[in-house]
Structure 1
Amino acid sequence: MSSFHTQRTNHLASSTSPYLQQHAQNPVDWWPWCAEALSLARTLNRPILLSIGYSACHWCHVMAHESFEDPATAELMNRLFVNIKVDREERPDLDRVYQTAHQLLSRRPGGWPLTVFLTPDDHTPFFAGTYFPREPRHGLPSFAQVLVGVERAWREQGAAIRAQNQSLLEALASLEPQGSSDLPEAGLLEAAFQQLALSFDPEHGGFGGAPKFPHATDLELLLRRHARTADAAPDPRPLQMARLTLERMIRGGLADQLGGGFCRYAVDDAWMIPHFEKMLYDNGPLLALCCDLYAATGETLFRDAAQSTADWARREMQSPEGGYYSSLDADSEGHEGAFYLWDREEVRARLDAREYPLFAMVYGLDRPPNFEGRWHLHGYRTPAQAAQALGLDPDLAEARLTQARAKLFEARERRVRPGRDEKILTAWNALMIKGMARAARVLDRPDDLESAEQALAFIRTRLWRNGRLLATYKDGVAHLNAYLDDYANLIDALLELLQVRWSNTDLEFAIELAEVLLAEFHDAERGGFWFTGRSHESLIHRAKPLGDDSMPSGNGVAARALQRLGHLVGEMRYLEAAEGTLRLAAESMRRVPHAHASLLMALDDWLDPPELLIIRATAEPLETWRRQAQQGYRPHRLVFAIPSEVTGLPGTLAALRAGAQPLIYRCRGTQCARPVESLTGL
């Protein structure tokens, strides 16, 4: 009998995951992924029903309401299976393995909720799907039919399932990169650009058709190409592609026009209607990208979008303890997007007669509703176009729009908010720390620097234990061994912070993280980094992810960050690990170049190492020179302004001493030129 009937809650009640807590009172006898649940499945010889999702997932909520809250469905689940619920954000290792298995079993992409049935002894999946409805529809069986059919197959076709499982495990093993004796060639950068150009949407920006995702890493790759070729053989296309894509995202419905921040993806070609959840891992890189586009173009649209995104993150996503929360739900009051939608008459009532016509023309209230009989704000016209149509001065039009947005934002603040997932994830925090540090540097925003430092301090005090990172924190509890993404992205974020202000402590922390990265995750024999560390629990497959997906590839970030840190402190082991990663990834990069933007940026740095400027000076010239050296968009230059009085620098940095006069050391790769006494001396 299910323990639910005696406990009134299942085994998820003490979880740190808000997603698991959402299911703690289901009549399903859910377990978290733990030794006790796995042992129970072996003892009972029952298959495991593994359900993976996350708290901001709309279809996860639908399946929960239809099936997991239904007593009859729960009775079937409890009688036939050991049921395990996993938050894919806390356990990306499990999600990665079983999403891949789903693709091999079903021959189609996965998603969430992910529904996988595992053998009880070795946890190999033998049937997988995503969302199943309560009643049969759209060619899908009902979830109850799936439950009964899978359990019968397990009882009656055990030998065939075992044979299939062996084939699946062999297929998983065959997916791992075999490596190459050669480094990837420079031509892959051109090949990736051509692939992106072929799929580029010249009308709305972005790549391919609906649904459209931000793909910040691809846009960063385009911007780096623009910077690399701007002086030699200017090609306007990379900048145009990146600029148009980000502009349309900012002006469109993907961006929150009132409160700042970006939603996860758009369901249409024109970036009009989003899937309304807001994820921290999207907004950190998009914040950095907005800063980069502003640095590259000087256009205030990108500066304003960066500022509103940073303001949103500080206002709504930063915990009192300093770390950043994970996400905002797509739903509120039981309906997707309800928090963000407007009725025309409500808008008209809240704006004055001078503001409404302009606002309606820009954001589409002068058109038919675009979402279930209501309006989601989408920039159909630019403010300048609307001002011209209405005969208004452009500056006056901008001022009126600012007033109108402020009024509607204030009104929206009184609505029922979407749920917020308040767990704090190390890797996602690292992405936002990097974005905030970039905003502090490019836009000169001290509040963003303070925010980034608070989040870093939180990680140091709450998620760094006994020389190892932990992956997740909530309500005073930090746990789970950190993953490759946690270490790689945090090193990358520290290198960004060090370019805003120097800290020996932060550099030492970056080196400590790099050492754990090599000790726990690096494959010294074949190259590259596993997603899980050596001390992690053993799963059916141990992956070395190379391609970018919703987050940049951990191997790509590690290869780039280790190169930069290795050049900064003169540590050859870091450079060798980066080189081995590129060799491992070479064949995969050749097959689909544009799917490996993070690794391509690491390759770009390997082929032509970035310029390092080390400034040693007292406070006044130090800050002035730092700002001057960082002007414009210079992704191939790193500037570290180290006060003269700082001593005890590690590695080769120790040789770059302060002098009686301010000094600037210029290094590239493993070579440093003689210091000069002014920027003009460079």
Structure 2
Amino acid sequence: MFKTLLISTTPLHRRFLFHKNSIKTKLSILPTSLPSLPSLLSIQFHRLIHSFKVLSMSEETTTTTSSKQVYKHTNRLALEQSPYLLQHAHNPVNWYPWGEEAFEEARKRDVPIFLSIGYSTCHWCHVMEVESFEDEQVAKLLNDGFVSIKVDREERPDVDKVYMTYVQALYGGGGWPLSAFLSPDLKPLMGGTYFPPNDKYGRPGFKTILRKVKDAWETQRETLMKSGTFTIQQLSEALSSSASSNKVPDGVPQNAVRLCAEQLAGNYDPEHGGFGSAPKFPRPVEIQLMLYRSKKLVENEKSSEAKEDLKMVLYSLQCMAKGGVHDHIGGGFHRYSVDEYWHVPHFEKMLYDQGQLANVYLDAFSITKDTFYSNVARDILDYLRRDMTGKEGEIYSAEDADSAEFQGASRKREGEFYVWTSKEVENIIGEHAELFKDHYYIKPLGNCDLSSMSDPHNEFKGKNVLIERSDTYSMASKLGMSQDKYFHILGLCRKKLFDARSKRPRPHLDDKVIVSWNGLAISSFARASKLLKGEAEDTKFQFPVVGCDPKEYLEVAAKAASFIKRQLYNDQSRRLNHSFRNGPSKAPGFLDDYAFLICGLLDLYEYGGGINWLSWAIELQNTQDELFLDREGGGYFNTAGEDPSVLLRVKEDHDGAEPSGNSVAVINLVRLASMVSSSRSEQYRQTAEHLLAVFESRLKDTAMAVPLMCCGADMLFVPSRRQVVLVGPKSTIDFDNMIAAAHASYDPNRTVIHIDPNNKEDLDFWQGNNENIALIAKGSPAADKVTAYVCQNFTCSSPVTDPKSLEALLNPKPL
């Protein structure tokens, strides 16, 4: 079902691809009649539709406009806040933003709509802008025959989902820029992705396509309209399926974890790590599933199988961290690698990757206590703090793959900010240059030669993408020095390169604040604040890791959450906006915004934050159920269904580059159910089970597509989730140490609750939401001391007041 497409249309187009990780809809259940839609059209139009299979899989960006510059053209996008829309504000194309003004204009002029969807850090979006949207001749064709609309897919994922689903269903793949032609009532007529401006290689260029679409609209309108209506009807039926029962058949949830792990293991790359072949995407949900499975095997006394699963995960994490997909100089991870070695990346950096990857490296550290993994987690979080966080704590969306070669240059190249020549490294580092070059495989002729896929068109000839290929211990021994000294030298060298790199033109920063992605980051910062307390006291940190006190990360998480509460949440309506840039966006919050933020808030509370975060999470869950829950059919729609311009309401399940809102929602419901009173707990559990019933066939047949949902399904049916209740003053070092002990071992089926008996807000909350917790607090023997109770199967352990004793109680069987 999920195909990797690699289509090269010119020698310079090295990455026209689409990967299974970016598909999130259930296209496998589409009616068989849908792909044959062109048969409804004339032979001539069938050929036109066929020409749209020039589906160049693209991804990328444009330059930021300067308010001081004088422009020949200015269109309506100049009034928008989206960085992507602003990049097109001075095209000769008469662009409209998505909205009623554009729709009315199309109806009034009786012309089709040309819809172009992308995002500000999208390389091929930028290519199409330069080649076509800045071209006066193309602009005239668009302005005369169409109403042209620009959409930022990060600002309006609901709009993007409708037309991306259409393109994927008809042509088997999709990507950005997304190009679609619509009727004035917004029904899709045809679509594709990137189109070169002129006819090439027997394929029609954008100008030809515009002329043909205009002619087809004038001569075959009725056929087009019927096909568009038919398509939307079929997609709507396929993507909003309901459960035949409120229950999931016995055994399905438990078998789903096993099935998914087996399917992933079957795709494991034992040589280079990861679950799949090139191009290699770091898909954290796969890691989460394998770690979850390994924990279950240990509990079932199948330690040898557990070690095999864990071995695959740890080796994959090591390969990713040592590869070029990891930014060794500045921290954080790029989007993916084009080769099997995790070496030459697509250099874009996305916030949703950083938050999820930090979490799986934290998980690996909590299992192994190996500071290799905690260092990588710190590296990611310190990058976010330094380069991706605003003054008020908001965390930005992305950094571009492209940048200029030198200050003032108009031409941009992919990876220019990140790659090095051997001579540059020698000049900048000096004394230790040879050590550094050996460590990072730097060569005079360039090092992008590991795979035929790394640099097929010699774009990085003479350039080096840093990658670690040798054993550190062996290299240090060879030089007659300790590992500590070796690592220290490497850190000094990285700092020198970082300082030199900071003088280069930076990639474009998309400073849009997206609620869902901030939720993922809030989770990782909160968890790091306690998990990293498990590092040995003598742990040494080298640049780009800052080496801060872990408690600072909790402050980052709380500040980001506070920004969202202040700027993107309406206390009266109890609703979220989706994003922020110079003010809240017009788009409302979507399912992912609620689900991901709730997850982040639960972590913020469980890892030491105030009761206000848990209270807000419950409030958001109530709103999520009100807006998105299909109470009759089960599961959550991705939109509230209140915008008539959005033609599809989808129940997404695929856990790809981002997890699906439904998968995260299941786990949120399980966690909330373990905290509140029995009546509300049962309501949460019933909602979760009804949701899983909607996706029963996925859990049974294609579990690998929904790894996080598999985990959530198993969590729901764990016989008894363990609760750790901490009672005592929260403003003490003892509290920090006890809550760190409560989280010290890896256990996704554990809930940590903390209550300060001297805090009225705490007591009032628990009195209203779970009287048993309030009773435990009132009955605790010492109000001035932190006491822990471990509860499971309706019984609680004797009180524990020592962190080490609590750790031993919670982790009798380490992995």
Amino acid at match of 2:553: D
Secondary structure class of the residue paired with 1:613: strand
The corresponding residue for 1:104 is 169
Shift >6 Å, 4+ stretches: none
Correspondence list, 1:538-553, <5 A: 538-553=645-660
In the TM superposition, what is the alpha-carbon distance from 1:149 to its structure 2 partner?
Answer: 1.2
In the TM superposition, what is the alpha-carbon distance from 1:7 to its structure 2 partner?
Answer: 9.1
Instruction: Figure out how many residues of one structure are paired with residues of the other and give that number.
Output: 673
| Aligned equivalents of 2:354, 2:202: Cα separation in 1 | 36
In structure 1, which of residues 300, 309, 317 is the aligned counterpart of residue 388 of structure 2?
Answer: 317
| Aligned equivalents of 1:139, 1:303: Cα separation in 2 | 52
The corresponding residue for 2:86 is 21
In structure 1, which of residues 170, 182, 185 is the aligned counterpart of residue 233 of structure 2?
Answer: 170
8 Å CA contact retained: 1:358, 1:397: no
Secondary structure class of the residue paired with 2:666: helix
| Residues 444-502 of structure 1: CA deviation (Å, up to 9, x unaligned) | 31221111111011001000013111111111344321000000011111111112214
In the TM superposition, what is the alpha-carbon distance from 1:65 to its structure 2 partner?
Answer: 0.7
In the TM superposition, what is the alpha-carbon distance from 1:271 to its structure 2 partner?
Answer: 0.6
8 Å CA contact retained: 1:213, 1:264: yes
Over 3 Å counting, the alpha-carbon distance change for 1:269 and 1:554 in structure 2 is same
In structure 2, which of residues 558, 568, 576 is the aligned counterpart of residue 453 of structure 1?
Answer: 558
| Residues 22-48 of structure 1: CA deviation (Å, up to 9, x unaligned) | 000011111110111111111111111
| Aligned equivalents of 1:449, 1:592: Cα separation in 2 | 37
The corresponding residue for 1:535 is 642
Greater CA drift, 532-541 or 61-70:
532-541
Amino acid at match of 1:491: I
Over 3 Å counting, the alpha-carbon distance change for 1:626 and 1:220 in structure 2 is same
The corresponding residue for 1:364 is 441
Over 3 Å counting, the alpha-carbon distance change for 1:675 and 1:502 in structure 2 is farther
In structure 2, which of residues 176, 191, 203 is the aligned counterpart of residue 128 of structure 1?
Answer: 191
Over 3 Å counting, the alpha-carbon distance change for 1:538 and 1:577 in structure 2 is farther
In the TM superposition, what is the alpha-carbon distance from 1:412 to its structure 2 partner?
Answer: 0.7
Does 1:258 pair with 2:302?
no
The corresponding residue for 2:769 is 651
| Aligned equivalents of 1:347, 1:455: Cα separation in 2 | 37
| Aligned equivalents of 1:255, 1:6: Cα separation in 2 | 39
Does 1:641 pair with 2:730?
no
The corresponding residue for 2:265 is 197
In the TM superposition, what is the alpha-carbon distance from 1:380 to its structure 2 partner?
Answer: 2.1
TM-score (norm 2): 0.80
The corresponding residue for 1:468 is 575
| Aligned equivalents of 1:154, 1:237: Cα separation in 2 | 59
| Aligned equivalents of 2:71, 2:255: Cα separation in 1 | 64
Which structure 2 segments of 5+ residues have no match? 1-69, 405-411, 449-459, 534-549, 810-815
| Aligned equivalents of 1:208, 1:242: Cα separation in 2 | 13
| Residues 500-521 of structure 1: CA deviation (Å, up to 9, x unaligned) | 2141211110111011011111
8 Å CA contact retained: 1:16, 1:477: no
Over 3 Å counting, the alpha-carbon distance change for 1:6 and 1:403 in structure 2 is closer
Does 1:598 pair with 2:708?
yes
Over 3 Å counting, the alpha-carbon distance change for 1:113 and 1:534 in structure 2 is closer
Amino acid at match of 2:742: A
| Aligned equivalents of 1:483, 1:476: Cα separation in 2 | 18
% same residue? 37
8 Å CA contact retained: 2:117, 2:160: yes
Over 3 Å counting, the alpha-carbon distance change for 1:30 and 1:656 in structure 2 is farther
| Residues 215-268 of structure 1: CA deviation (Å, up to 9, x unaligned) | 001111111111222242111222112111111111101110000000111111
| Aligned equivalents of 1:283, 1:507: Cα separation in 2 | 24
Secondary structure class of the residue paired with 2:362: helix
Amino acid at match of 1:414: K
Greater CA drift, 522-531 or 500-509:
500-509
The corresponding residue for 1:612 is 723
Amino acid at match of 2:105: L
In the TM superposition, what is the alpha-carbon distance from 1:404 to its structure 2 partner?
Answer: 0.8
The corresponding residue for 2:781 is 660
Which structure 1 segments of 5+ residues have no match? none
The corresponding residue for 2:4 is none
Amino acid at match of 2:212: G
Over 3 Å counting, the alpha-carbon distance change for 1:454 and 1:148 in structure 2 is same
Over 3 Å counting, the alpha-carbon distance change for 1:151 and 1:509 in structure 2 is same
| Aligned equivalents of 2:162, 2:72: Cα separation in 1 | 32
| Residues 382-413 of structure 1: CA deviation (Å, up to 9, x unaligned) | 32243244444322221111111111111111
8 Å CA contact retained: 1:210, 1:267: yes
Greater CA drift, 515-524 or 598-607:
598-607
| Aligned equivalents of 2:472, 2:134: Cα separation in 1 | 47
| Aligned equivalents of 1:357, 1:449: Cα separation in 2 | 40
| Aligned equivalents of 2:94, 2:72: Cα separation in 1 | 10
The corresponding residue for 1:373 is 462
TM-score (norm 1): 0.95
8 Å CA contact retained: 2:422, 2:444: no
| Aligned equivalents of 1:534, 1:133: Cα separation in 2 | 36
8 Å CA contact retained: 1:277, 1:330: yes
In the TM superposition, what is the alpha-carbon distance from 1:164 to its structure 2 partner?
Answer: 1.9
The corresponding residue for 1:71 is 136
Secondary structure class of the residue paired with 2:726: strand
8 Å CA contact retained: 1:473, 1:479: no
| Aligned equivalents of 1:611, 1:256: Cα separation in 2 | 38
Greater CA drift, 324-333 or 292-301:
292-301
